[in-house]
Amino acid sequence: MTFRYSRARLLRNLLLAGVAVVALGGCAINRTSSPSPDYAGMSAGQSQATLGELTGRYKANPRDKGNIIHYAAALRAAGQSGQAVSVLELGIQTYPGDVDISVGYAKALTADGRFEQSLAVLDNVIRLDAPDWNALLVKGATLDQMGRNGEARQLYIQALTIAPGEASIEANMGLSYAMTNELGTAEQHLRRAVQMRGASSQIRQNLALIVGLQGRFDESRALYAAELPPDQVENNMTYVRALLTQQNRWDAIAKS
């Protein structure tokens, strides 16, 4: 497996991690509120416990909108994107035309590699006169994963005009630049993101990753250490070094 494939796959997974969803159990939607808990940034134990709790809530009331969205998000974070798609397909039957359910469905489709289907869902819910910034963010993440990075960044810029100071948008802009190997620009956007409202542990870990990919291991380790237990910090640093080793091998092959 080449470095480019390894890093691209990692960044694709991170692009959807910080996208906001409706607060659990809430009825009213406030697009300027902080994102819900970021399941992708949890430790393995926390993720397992959270998924178990949300599974119970969903089984107890599978028609509740918050339960549907959060259960699907936890499934996606656990790598069960196909099951998340199934949950949200049932959710759409219960809430036809609902923007939040549709955006969650599009996220699950993107995570499952069904990019064109995801874009079709999003285009059906994004109003030209009053676009939803969260839908724009998911569409941008989908386009990034398709290699259409310039189009994605235009959507992030549009989303930032609607929700200025929203950390998840700035973070995805940074990851978009990381996907095209513009790590300095990526770091600038992620450093802005960690200072914004809604900045999650996952976003701070993304900054640690980008710093590490530039070879600044001590700084990267310190950033990870502020978010994770020691064993996970070392695991992450080992992975960052492996990515850089693969990069060097790829560069050597490319020059031969």
- Distance in angstroms (rounded) separating the CA atoms of residues 87 and 51: 14
> What pLDDT does residue 164 have?
93
pLDDT classification of 64: cutoffs 50, 70, 90: very high
- Distance in angstroms (rounded) separating the CA atoms of residues 39 and 74: 6
Mean residue pLDDT of the chain comes to 84
> What pLDDT does residue 41 have?
64
Structural tokens at position 29: 């939607």
Domains and CATH numbers, the chain: 1-20+164-256 (1.25.40.10)
Of all helices (H) and strands (E), which one includes residue 57? Answer: helix 44-60
Sequence-ordered alpha helix ranges (H) in 148-182: 149-162, 167-179
> What pLDDT does residue 5 have?
44
CA dihedral 47, 231, 208, 167 (to 10 degrees): 20
- Distance in angstroms (rounded) separating the CA atoms of residues 80 and 82: 6
> What pLDDT does residue 187 have?
98
The DSSP output letter for 17 is: T
Q: Which of 170, 139, 171 shows the shortest CA–CA distance to 155?
A: 139
Count of CA atoms in the C-beta half-sphere (13 A) of 135? 20
